[in-house]
Amino acid sequence: MMRLPRHLALLMLTAAALVHGAASAAPTAPSTDANQAFAEEFGDRFFKAYWPLHPDAAIAVGYYQVADRLPAPDAKLRTAELHFLDAQLARLRSYKPEDLDDAHRTDQALLENELESERWHIDGLRDWQWDPSGYNVADSFALLLNTDYAPLEQRLRTVLKRLAAVPAYYAAAEHDIANPTREHTQLGIEQNQGALDVFGPELEKQIAGSGLSKAERALFKTRIAAARKAMQHYVAWLKTLDGELAQDDKARSFRLGRELYERKFAYDIQSGGTAETLYQRAKLEKERLVSRMDGLADQLWPKYMADAPKPADRFDKIGQLINKMSEQHAPRENFVGTVEQMIPELEQWVTEHKLIDLDPSKPLQIRQTPAYEQGVAIAGIEAPGPYDPTAKTYFNVTPLDSYSPERVESFLREYNKWILPVFIIHEAIPGHYVQLIYANRSPSRIKSIFGNGAMIEGWAVYSERMMLESGYGGNTPEAWLMYSKWNLRSVTNTVLDYSVHVLGMSREDAIQLLTHEAFQSQEEATAKWRRVQLSSVQLTSYFAGYSEIYDFREKLKQEQGTNFDLKRFHEQFLSYGSSPVKLIEQLMQGKAQ
């Protein structure tokens, strides 16, 4: 998990770049003129044209100039978007990659992929037609009301303008939705019902306590009522639709199917290979992990299980052992303290073992997760949005006081003595936090907004294994067994996503795969089944990025022999920012020759 600029997760899902022959280009000196022209055209000037078409995304990244707009998501808007995309793509392609330096070349590749992907969402994937949960006004309104970016009155006036457009927004949605999936229809019902809360007593209180005029307050009242009515109408309309879909059994399947899946994979992951290749690779990796765990379990069995009979089934055996070992975990009262203590320890390890340079001028600020953000993740990096002037990065840790004893116990067992450090490695050092610091050294608006998710998650997953290989955790069988269980989750996510969307895997088989063969709890497995129905490809990003980075490193090690320097590899790899791994590979190899 990584907290990117709020709600950017959605954008990230569509962000990815096709590598267009960057490596085959002759290594000529980049022209300063081209770089300058590119930076001018595809810096703020591009985004000034881009945000008015995407005000929700703009608000999510902290750009508020267009916040009062809420365009109706209709055919007219889609046509305008297509025109915009075609014009920008033509401009973008007028720059030759070989004329650009690495920073701009990677920006160009990322943006080209993003624009092509947006085009495909409109006229290929057409999720605007079959995903009713894609229509929801609540998030942006909530951000405007809860983010202190301007005085309350100014924000309320923005909200007031935006509110006027809500009825037309939902009318367009009802007009365009055709043969949706039942899963996304039900999600749309649930989420839009919840969205009504944003326009409830809390907002009325904010208005009452503000300096708005009497006329403005009256207008607010009318518009809130009209907005609520439109949302309620949408929910009722979806419920009727869902009833019809249930009856004639003709609803579109939530499964994407091979063709759409491969295409989405190409845009979202931007790896060198296909989804099918990655799936095959993940199956092999799963077997490699399990057979290693099998051996470790035999080794550890007497120590933890004493005379208990050892099951013949390797999954049962490993599962029982992990279950027993999970009793060793941090004390509930001192969870935050335990995490806090790990950060300087990890920093010291990384430095002493010459794994990567950290920036001592930017120590990680640890804090308790603010109350309004609790309930999402137990710990994680919260990075400022690209337009956030405060620009502080925090490591949030949620104290466990507010959870029931059962939930806390199950959580602490999951993040037990061996897994908790791996999780902190992933989120902070040398995972997401360190990657972010390196990315910020060459600031790029394009990369901070359309950065490659597989690279970002892949680096964090890679750093877990790299740390264990360096001896962190003592190189014990316990550490490797638990690490393998943790890593098996990313690997299994890939197998699951492809199996469900392309191969038609049933719910029953999916739950069996997760609980029996990947040692997950029933609760975790059920949540994952829901997620795989509602999303596609994103679950593969962790393993996709990780396996590419790991393979690339091993290849370089082979080629360079004793000249290979791990620290240099890490620093050079991260110096390209959140670019697709494949593209980084090409650029790094161009340098080496």
Beta bridge partners of 397: 368, 379
| Chain residues 158-177 in contact with Zn ion, contact rule CB under 5 A | none
Taking the complex as a whole, the smallest distance from the CB of residue 62 to Zn ion amounts, in Å, to 21
Alpha-carbon distance 355 to 527, whole Å?
36
Position among 460, 466, 481, 544 found at the interface with Zn ion (CB under 5 A):
460
Report the residue number, 227 or 356, with the smaller CB distance to Zn ion. 356
| Chain residues 329-368 in contact with Zn ion, contact rule CB under 5 A | none
The side-by-side arrangement of strands in the sheet containing 365-368 is 365-368, 394-397, 379-382
How many alpha carbons fall within 13 Å on the CB side of residue 561?
Answer: 1
Taking the complex as a whole, the smallest distance from the CB of residue 269 to Zn ion amounts, in Å, to 15
Position among 2, 109, 177, 467 found at the interface with Zn ion (CB under 5 A):
2
Token look-up 């569509």 returns: 14
Report the residue number, 389 or 405, with the smaller CB distance to Zn ion. 405
Taking the complex as a whole, the smallest distance from the CB of residue 144 to Zn ion amounts, in Å, to 28
Report the residue number, 156 or 460, with the smaller CB distance to Zn ion. 460
Taking the complex as a whole, the smallest distance from the CB of residue 381 to Zn ion amounts, in Å, to 8
Binding segment (CB under 5 A) for Zn ion, from list 209-217, 414-422, 459-467, 481-489: 459-467
- Helix, strand or coil for residue 165? coil
Residue 150 sits at φ, ψ, to 5 deg, of: -155, 165
CB 466 within 8 A of CB 487: no
Site string for Zn ion, 192-221 (x = CB under 5 A): ------------------------------
Binding segment (CB under 5 A) for Zn ion, from list 76-84, 172-180, 458-466, 472-480: 458-466
Binding segment (CB under 5 A) for Zn ion, from list 18-26, 457-465, 495-503, 582-590: 457-465
Taking the complex as a whole, the smallest distance from the CB of residue 329 to Zn ion amounts, in Å, to 6
Report the residue number, 158 or 538, with the smaller CB distance to Zn ion. 538
Binding segment (CB under 5 A) for Zn ion, from list 148-156, 168-176, 451-459, 532-540: 451-459
Helix axes 453-469, 419-427, angle to 10 degrees: 140
Report the residue number, 174 or 373, with the smaller CB distance to Zn ion. 373
Alpha-carbon distance 418 to 487, whole Å?
13
Report the residue number, 184 or 485, with the smaller CB distance to Zn ion. 485
Binding segment (CB under 5 A) for Zn ion, from list 337-345, 445-453, 454-462, 581-589: 454-462
Alpha-carbon distance 192 to 181, whole Å?
16
How many alpha carbons fall within 13 Å on the CB side of residue 215?
Answer: 0
Report the residue number, 134 or 545, with the smaller CB distance to Zn ion. 545
Taking the complex as a whole, the smallest distance from the CB of residue 114 to Zn ion amounts, in Å, to 21
Taking the complex as a whole, the smallest distance from the CB of residue 421 to Zn ion amounts, in Å, to 15
Report the residue number, 209 or 405, with the smaller CB distance to Zn ion. 405
Quick check: 125 binds Zn ion (CB under 5 A)?
Answer: no
Size of the site for Zn ion (CB under 5 A): 3
Within 8 A by CB and 6+ apart from 378, the residues are 397, 398, 411, 415
Report the residue number, 349 or 546, with the smaller CB distance to Zn ion. 546
Taking the complex as a whole, the smallest distance from the CB of residue 282 to Zn ion amounts, in Å, to 18
Binding segment (CB under 5 A) for Zn ion, from list 68-76, 166-174, 230-238, 452-460: 452-460
Report the residue number, 172 or 342, with the smaller CB distance to Zn ion. 342
Taking the complex as a whole, the smallest distance from the CB of residue 460 to Zn ion amounts, in Å, to 4
Binding segment (CB under 5 A) for Zn ion, from list 45-53, 210-218, 271-279, 456-464: 456-464
Please name the helix (run of DSSP H) or strand (run of DSSP E) that holds residue 379, with its range, or none: strand 379-382
Beta bridge partners of 3: 382
Region class of 179: left (phi > 0), else alpha (psi between -120 and 50), else beta = left
Alpha-carbon distance 492 to 542, whole Å?
10
Alpha-carbon distance 114 to 444, whole Å?
15
Taking the complex as a whole, the smallest distance from the CB of residue 276 to Zn ion amounts, in Å, to 25
Alpha-carbon distance 304 to 297, whole Å?
10
Report the residue number, 224 or 412, with the smaller CB distance to Zn ion. 412
Alpha-carbon distance 5 to 12, whole Å?
10
Taking the complex as a whole, the smallest distance from the CB of residue 412 to Zn ion amounts, in Å, to 6
Taking the complex as a whole, the smallest distance from the CB of residue 485 to Zn ion amounts, in Å, to 17
What is the total residue count of the chain?
593
Taking the complex as a whole, the smallest distance from the CB of residue 15 to Zn ion amounts, in Å, to 16
Q: How far is CA 479 from the centre of its chain?
A: 27
Binding segment (CB under 5 A) for Zn ion, from list 1-9, 51-59, 281-289, 368-376: 1-9
Alpha-carbon distance 112 to 125, whole Å?
18
Structure tokens at 47: 């985004």
Alpha-carbon distance 434 to 350, whole Å?
11
Alpha-carbon distance 26 to 584, whole Å?
16
Q: How far is CA 491 from the centre of its chain?
A: 16
- Helix, strand or coil for residue 257? coil
Binding segment (CB under 5 A) for Zn ion, from list 9-17, 62-70, 453-461, 582-590: 453-461
- Helix, strand or coil for residue 529? helix
First-residue to last-residue Cα distance in the chain: 36
CB 469 within 8 A of CB 129: no
Alpha-carbon distance 441 to 447, whole Å?
12
Structure tokens at 329: 């975990």
Report the residue number, 127 or 457, with the smaller CB distance to Zn ion. 457
Report the residue number, 457 or 478, with the smaller CB distance to Zn ion. 457
Binding segment (CB under 5 A) for Zn ion, from list 6-14, 95-103, 116-124, 450-458: 450-458
Alpha-carbon distance 276 to 282, whole Å?
10
CB 328 within 8 A of CB 485: no
Taking the complex as a whole, the smallest distance from the CB of residue 314 to Zn ion amounts, in Å, to 26
Report the residue number, 385 or 453, with the smaller CB distance to Zn ion. 453
Report the residue number, 256 or 381, with the smaller CB distance to Zn ion. 381
Taking the complex as a whole, the smallest distance from the CB of residue 90 to Zn ion amounts, in Å, to 36
Write out the residues near Zn ion by the rule CB under 5 A. 2, 457, 460
